[in-house]
Structure 1
């Protein structure tokens, strides 16, 4: 099968990453499985295992899809107007939480069971990563601090709550994805020397920091669509201490962390350190690999190429996804 993966951000990812990391690992795995992959991405991208075409937002989508492509996998809503407007089978992965109940294409899949259900759908594929790119885990290394991993400037990620949890637990916090002084979304100034900020780190620096952490503190205040930071942390043997919203109950079983919507409960769990790092690692490798993700998408590709519409009606978000309860 020849799959075109369309995204409006360049590849590969050089730092923090997100959707770009997922579609890179997806494309590579599809090629390993014997399929052909073309990326439709912004100029400046590069790839050594698939063809690249520059995305042209000012041109109709059907003019940008080569004749030999069997299916287009959009990572953003192409807003085609109808399910057959492209002239080719296509799939759309919804990666976020819509701000309003706007109907999505019927061939939309989501990232978790919870994510899908909040749009009135049951179609989803878990994100997966190529764990070989992350290197080995040092399970014997002392783990004396906790970490937060996420875009700290986003209020829904609740960095303030993570700092509160670490402070109650009496444990130092390494913040990956945030700055000590944040003026973009309100003013936040953090002066504690027990909280260290590393900005939007990636690559070896991120792996090194995760390799020394005793746990991830992630008290989000929205329905997390997936949470790549969660599975990356689990891979490095870090249990997750988070709120029970969105995907978190699907990603974090009871033996890999604690889910609660209040700081004292999460702080007590973080302080107890009763979780098995090797068990957390095994859970991530078993359930969230790029191989499992690629096989999941291939099943949907086959259905769509055969002419099936995945959802009986256009999915649309149902209910509020933000400003969920938190007791600090």
Structure 2
């Protein structure tokens, strides 16, 4: 059995790991941090101010850096938020480098390039979870540090990075199933997520209209223009916006609906909303894009070609006939936090063992010199 580890989790410098979540990445880090803590590990979370987890935490202190007037007036001055992100991760990685014995493992979930670029200068073993397809700065960092230990959240995401990293392991994001109880279902459809164009809430609204079903919406309004133009005009008795909900409220909403619409207009790297829906026994009707088919499988929903709203409406009706207990069982086998933690702790153990072997070799070489 793995001894308790001191684990540093690096998250976003902009968003707290707190409810209601800013997005799926924040929700995932929340679940992971809780699960590792419940498993007996000592977890320190590095994230935006205001994180609400019962673990030791440290704010990424980007907001404390204020450039001088001379620096602000320089033609190269980037947007202040970008500079603060840079300062946050630079200071954090320098701290890791200067204090290599503070942690046994660093688990990087940030989307910033600096943790990867500076990883080789840090003695503490580090693993980076890739939550997105390739982005320019992160791809550049990984191209220069190909020995970086990485995992992907889906086979789809692993393939997207294969031109840089070759084959890498996959660890599907998991959810605490007891926090997403099996619900009784109902007659309504549900859509939840960030209100941004790429999540496609407007397509869910159209599919629900074609299907003749009421639709309940939930999530943060991340793009106010999009919400105002593509969502708000359709709100009423048939389409209701329930707000930006805390986890227990969202679980109740999911469990009370007959099917969940999942409508990305891009290739989702994973699709945490799918895992959460299945955990509540709510089958999915959605677009077969990115990593979504890996989660849904053959027993938990109906997937159609991306953008085909008519087919989505038909899929929604078919989804209502699924056995909710079978849908829940799919979550138990494919999306549980237990499976995720087991896989990650195996990776942590490998990293710690590799470091110990390096230390033994270094000591032997020093004695023989």
TM-score (norm: length of structure 1)? 0.83
Matched residue SS, 2:302: strand
Counterpart residue number, 2:30:
24
- Give, in angstroms, the shift of residue 210 of structure 1: 0.9
Distance 2:228 2:179 in 1: 36
Mapped partners of 2:92, 2:263: distance in 1: 41
Matched, 1:2 2:49: no
Q: Which moved more, 1:222-231 or 1:284-293?
A: 284-293
CA contact (8 A) 1:146 1:171 kept: yes
**Equivalent in 91, 94, 119 of residue 161 of structure 2:** 119
* Farther off after superposition, 105-114 or 143-152: 105-114
Cα distance change, pair 221–191 in 1 and its aligned pair in 2 (3 A): closer
Is contact 1:5-1:38 (8 Å) kept?
yes
Q: Please say which structure displays the higher CA radius of gyration.
A: 2
Residue in 1 that maps onto 2:276? 232
**Cα distance 1:199–1:33, how it changes in 2: closer, same or farther (>3 A)?**
closer
Superposed CA deviations along residues 270-295 of structure 1, whole A, max 9, x for unmatched, are: 12322111111121123212111111
CA offsets per residue over residues 143-170 of structure 1, 9 Å max, x none? 1110111112x21111111111111111
Comparing 228-237 and 91-100, the one that deviates more: 91-100
Q: What does residue 55 of structure 1 align with?
A: 60
Unaligned runs of 5+ in 2: 62-87, 356-369
Q: Structure 1 unaligned runs (5+)? A: 309-328
CA distance in 1, matches of 2:109, 2:102: 20
1:90 Cα offset (Å): 0.8
The Cα offsets for residues 63-85 of structure 1, whole Å up to 9 and x where unpaired, read as 15562311111111452535421
After TM superposition, give the deviation of residue 217 of structure 1 in Å: 0.9
**Per-residue deviation at 1:233?**
0.8
* 2:295–2:335 Cα contact (<8 Å) kept: no
Distance in 1 (alpha carbons) for counterparts of 2:260 and 2:36: 31
Shift of 1:202: 2.2
Alpha-carbon distance in structure 1 between the residues aligned to 2:248 and 2:52:
21
Q: CA RMSD in A?
A: 2.5
Structure 1 position 291 matched with structure 2 position 325: no
Q: Which of 105, 117, 125 lines up with 1:71 in the alignment?
A: 105
Partner of 1:319: none
SS in 1 for 2:191: strand
Aligned residues of 1:61 and 1:86 also touching (Cα < 8 A)? yes
CA change 1:11–1:191 in 2 (3 A) is closer
Shift in CA distance, 111/33, structure 1 to aligned 2, threshold 3 Å: same
2:133 to 97, 101, 108: 97
Give CA-to-partner distance per residue, 1:95-135, whole Å, 9 cap, x none: 2234445353532211011111111043221111112223x
* 2:117 match: secondary structure: coil
1:46 Cα deviation after fit: 4.3
Tell me whether 1:146 sits opposite 2:192 in the alignment.
no
Contact residue 17 and residue 51 of structure 2 kept, 8 A = yes
Write the distance in 2 (CA, Å) between the matches of 1:38 and 1:294.
Answer: 16
Q: Paired residue for 1:277?
A: 324
Q: Distance in 2 between matches of 1:178 and 1:62?
A: 34
Q: 1:222 is matched with which residue: 248, 261, 266?
A: 266
Say whether the 8 Å CA contact 2:217–2:239 is kept in structure 1.
Answer: yes
Contact 2:262–2:287 at 8 Å: present in 1 too?
A: yes
> How far does the alpha carbon of each residue in 1:28-59 deviate from its partner, in whole angstroms, 9 at most, with x for none?
332333332222233433443x3223324162
Structure-2 separation of matches of 1:167 and 1:122: 42
Tell whether the 8 Å contact from 1:178 to 1:198 is kept in structure 2 after alignment: no
**Separation in 1, partners of 2:199, 2:149:** 29
RCO higher in 1 or 2 (8 Å CA, sep ≥ 6)? 1
Distance in 2 (CA, whole Å) between partners of 1:115 and 1:214 is 30
